[in-house]
DNA sequence: CAGCCGCTGACACCTCGTTGACACCTGAGA
DNA sequence: TCTCAGGTGTCAACGAGGTGTCAGCGGCTG
């Protein structure tokens, strides 16, 4: 079981990390939101333990991004604030569970286990646009009922475009989301991939070019 | 969408019922387990919202019966008990989701919607896919009526793939579930086992490879 | 105890789809 | 007409995944 601990109070972070490792989990610990997002972009975690009050990128923002990325990670929000209002806010952001500080370590372990066991509260699973559908979980895309044979990158790009729901997505954004961050800024992969994708879609007009702004998906 | 609310605290029951109706759902409300079982015997519900602490027939028992009846209803367990032990117990009984009281109504609605959207979690005793069947309890798999002679690992892999129901399962996931956790991350057992399995299935196209994502079972 | 056999997992090697770079073309807007 | 963002064609390298094979292990049998 892979767990990411995001907590700026270093002593607590280390303690939790060590404790969870002793329980047999593979644990990564980071001290701020920026690094957290880096790790999340690269690795798959079963559970993310997230301190809400982070310096830099706020915990809520991290949570929002995890949800937006349709990650399969379950989020356990950890915070000093314990009013019901705040709790609901957290859950509203997509967190799967909530633990007010101070907490009992046993309880933390139990909750992490419980979260890992339960399937993520899944949001809309299938994108649809005209006769085009894309199911991220099943990794299947179809057009006019026929299955499209897309490569991983093509699939990723199409997923991003559909997620953007008609808004243009820049080449830089696509690079960042589909390729892993460290990409040469002068690369031409995106345009090549878009081209291949258009070809496989069979309807090149589905992906519009918005000059200087990127690509947008939508009916002709 | 049809919803059955089983909750003995009448005020809460009515409130939830009214609220869900306002959200456009067809809601039946009952105040105890006996009546609940009666309704369940007669009607088909998409989601059952079940208070765990019921007088008469206990919520756990109701849940057990829903699962035993192989109903297609998804169960959302509602309870005051919020210790993890109890929570885990509930999910163990076959409930699909769990919401500790007090809860935010918005969250209830969101979870009901999420449940209705996803196929029942209830684990079938026998998996079927085309002419392929697999019975985990009896450890028997057949294809086109003929028994397949599968080794334990092959059986485990096939079971995982069938349980994933068309979603791809990564080599890491298979390793974690079929082999015991502590596996060398560079092992190639999975691909070897998949190969043997394909051979024994006699229909290699049944197990598709999803590049970078794993293996998926499904009709060609 | 020796021999047989199926299961397992490790290699080494092969295949071919995927990927990304590069050179060149095109067309819209100034 | 000029410019340059974006489109196309092509090619070479890479690496994920498939295959063949072998050896160790453990259970069973004579």
Instruction: Say how far B177 CA is from C16 C1', in Å.
Output: 31
The angle at the Cα of B119, spanning B116 to B121, to the nearest 5 degrees, equals 105
Split at pLDDT 50, 70, 90, the class of A108 is confident
Nearest nt (C1') from A190 Cα: C20
Q: What is the mean pLDDT of the segment spanning B164-178?
A: 85
| Average of per-residue pLDDT values in chain A | 81
Number of neighbours of residue A18 by Cβ within 10 angstroms: 11
Tokens of A47: 């559970």
Q: What is the pLDDT of residue A104?
A: 75
Residue of B nearest to A137 (CA): B167
Residue of B nearest to A111 (CA): B84
Is the pLDDT score of B123 beyond 50?
no
Q: Are A32 and A56 in contact (CB under 8 A)?
A: yes
Burial tier of B154 (Cβ tally within 10 Å: 0-12, 13-18, 19+): buried
Q: Report how far residue A63's alpha carbon sits from residue A60's, in angstroms, rounded to the nearest whole number.
A: 5
Q: Report how far residue A141's alpha carbon sits from residue A158's, in angstroms, rounded to the nearest whole number.
A: 9
For residue B146, what are the contacts with CB-CB under 8 A and spacing of at least 6?
none
Is the pLDDT score of A62 beyond 70?
yes
Instruction: Say how far B218 CA is from C5 C1', in Å.
Output: 33
> Which tops the pLDDT comparison, B133 or A184?
B133
H helix and E strand count, chain B: 8, 11
Split at pLDDT 50, 70, 90, the class of A64 is confident
Q: What is the pLDDT of residue A5?
A: 94
Q: How does pLDDT run across B134-159, given as a tens digit for each residue?
A: 987 678 899 998 999 998 899 989 98
Rounded to a whole number of angstroms, the distance from the CA of A136 to the nearest CA of chain B is 9
Split at pLDDT 50, 70, 90, the class of A120 is very low
Number of neighbours of residue B31 by Cβ within 10 angstroms: 19
Compute CA distances A87 → A81, A100, B92, B118, whole Å. Answer: 8, 9, 25, 25
Cβ distance A114 to B88 less than 8 Å, yes or no, reads yes
Rounded to a whole number of angstroms, the distance from the CA of B56 to the nearest CA of chain A is 28
Q: Residue at minimal CA–C1' distance from C6?
A: B151
Residue of A nearest to B90 (CA): A114
pTM: 0.56
Q: Report how far residue B168's alpha carbon sits from residue B95's, in angstroms, rounded to the nearest whole number.
A: 24
Q: Are B112 and B90 in contact (CB under 8 A)?
A: no
Q: Report how far residue B154's alpha carbon sits from residue B139's, in angstroms, rounded to the nearest whole number.
A: 11
Nearest nt (C1') from A195 Cα: D7
Q: How does pLDDT run across B90-122, given as a tens digit for each residue?
A: 555 667 777 777 777 877 887 787 776 654 443
Is the pLDDT score of A47 beyond 80?
yes
Q: What is the pLDDT of residue B76?
A: 87
Q: What is the mean pLDDT of the segment spanning B12-24?
A: 83
Q: What is the mean pLDDT of the segment spanning A197-216?
A: 90
Q: What is the pLDDT of residue B211?
A: 92
The 8-class DSSP code of residue A206 comes to G
Split at pLDDT 50, 70, 90, the class of A218 is confident
Split at pLDDT 50, 70, 90, the class of A70 is low
Cβ distance B102 to A122 less than 8 Å, yes or no, reads no
Is the pLDDT score of B128 beyond 80?
yes
Split at pLDDT 50, 70, 90, the class of A121 is very low
Q: Report how far residue A218's alpha carbon sits from residue A43's, in angstroms, rounded to the nearest whole number.
A: 31
Burial tier of A64 (Cβ tally within 10 Å: 0-12, 13-18, 19+): middle
Strand order in the sheet with B74-79: B26-30, B2-6, B47-51, B74-79, B97-100
Biggest distance spanned by C-alpha atoms of chain B: 60
Name residue A216's beta-bridge partners. Answer: A208
Q: Percentage of chain B surpassing pLDDT 70?
A: 82
Q: What is the pLDDT of residue B220?
A: 66
Task: Check whether residue B171 has its CB closer than 7 Å to nucleic acid strand D.
Answer: yes
For residue A40, what are the contacts with CB-CB under 8 A and spacing of at least 6?
A4, A48, A62, A65, A66, A69, A71, A73
> Which tops the pLDDT comparison, B68 or B102?
B102
Q: How does pLDDT run across A127-184, given as a tens digit for each residue?
A: 889 899 998 888 999 999 999 999 999 999 999 999 888 889 998 888 888 886 566 7
Q: Mutate which of B104, B165, B168, B181 to disrupt the A interface (most A C-beta within 10 Å)?
A: B104
Handedness of CA A16, A17, A21, A22 (dihedral sign): negative
């Amino acid at each position: 079981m892979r767990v990411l601990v995001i907590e700026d109070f270093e002593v607590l972070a280390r303690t939790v990390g060590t404790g969870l490792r002793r329980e047999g989990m593979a644990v990564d610990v980071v001290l701020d939101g920026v690094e957290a997002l880096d790790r999340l972009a690269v690795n798959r975690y079963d559970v993310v333990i997230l301190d809400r009050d982070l310096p830099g990128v706020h915990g809520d923002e991290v949570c929002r991004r995890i949800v937006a990325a349709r990650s399969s990670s379950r989020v356990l929000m950890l915070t000093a604030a314990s009013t019901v209002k705040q709790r609901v806010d957290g859950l509203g952001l997509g967190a799967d569970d909530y633990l007010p500080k101070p907490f009992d370590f046993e309880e933390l372990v139990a909750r992490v286990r419980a979260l890992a066991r339960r399937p993520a509260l899944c949001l809309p699973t299938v994108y649809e646009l005209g006769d085009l559908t894309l199911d991220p979980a099943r990794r299947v895309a179809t057009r006019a009922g026929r299955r499209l044979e897309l490569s991983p990158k093509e699939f990723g790009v199409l997923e991003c475009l559909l997620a953007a729901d008609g808004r243009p997505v820049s080449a830089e954004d696509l690079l960042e989301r589909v390729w892993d961050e460290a990409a040469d800024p002068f690369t031409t992969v995106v345009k090549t991939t878009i081209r291949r994708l258009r070809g496989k879609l069979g309807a090149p007009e589905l992906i519009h070019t918005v000059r200087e702004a990127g690509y947008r998906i939508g009916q002709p």
